[in-house]
Amino acid sequence: MDREKMTVPKFRAAKGKQRLVCITAYDEPTARLADQANVDLILVGDSLGNVVLGYANTLPVTQSEMLHHVRAASHGVKSALLVADMPFGTFQGSVDRTVEYACEMIKAGAEAVKLEGGKAVEAAIQRLTEVGIPVMGHVGMTPQSVNAFGGFRVQGRGNQADALAMEARRVADAGAFAVVLEMVPAMVAERVTSETPIPTIGIGAGVGCDGQVQVFHDILNLGTFHPKHARVFFDAGAAITNAISNYADSVRAGSFPTDEESF
């Protein structure tokens, strides 16, 4: 039985009523499988740079690469809300240019876009929402700022907590329908969640958020890096390697293909 379609208003209205499940996907098969698993939101993240394209971080990911993967993923999604990351360089300039890039994402099949940052992207969030493009925010450890942070470091510790809470509120006040909190101390994330009127989606931010997002490849052990915040729910990497090994053995032994598998 088909699920009811998740929309931006429904997602926002779920705050305080149900925990929201989000996951990344980058093509039709991964998006289709995630959608069939009844997740609420699928993010075509610029994390594809790390887990699909082999880059060291998200900074090299281009708009054309994102559009390619958004188009592919959109064909696998029926019920979940499909959100696309705005890659580095597409929203750091003029607001008008940001709108142009975001429109390309929507035309490719995304139903909303995600921007990293707080005060720096307020104007962009406001303008995008004014023209009908829903925006998801992202504060805390924002991977596109990895060089400024000096690495992937927890944000919001100590006297940074108030500033981080303010960033989340700025994002909400600008019109975002949800905000990702990445690598934030659990107690701080719980505070931000209680003070922010939109759903908070944690990744490495504890259980006190309104929902969670994880990278597809991390929870299935398909990558080479294992973040502290990611639990391996199934070792698909080992299962796939074993399946291919069995295929190779069958070819070498002459047991594949059989008569039934031949024309």
Kindly list the catalytic residues. Answer: 182
- Which tokens hold the place of 98? 């940001």
d(CA 155, CA 226): 19
Evaluate the omega torsion of the peptide bond into residue 87 and state whether it is cis, within 30 degrees of 0.
no
Written as one letter, the residue type at 176 is: A
Q: Dump strand ranges (E) for 91-188.
A: 112-114, 135-140, 178-182
Q: From 118, 109, 115, 105, select the one nearest 135 (Cα to Cα).
A: 115
Contact 6, 81 (CB under 8 A): yes
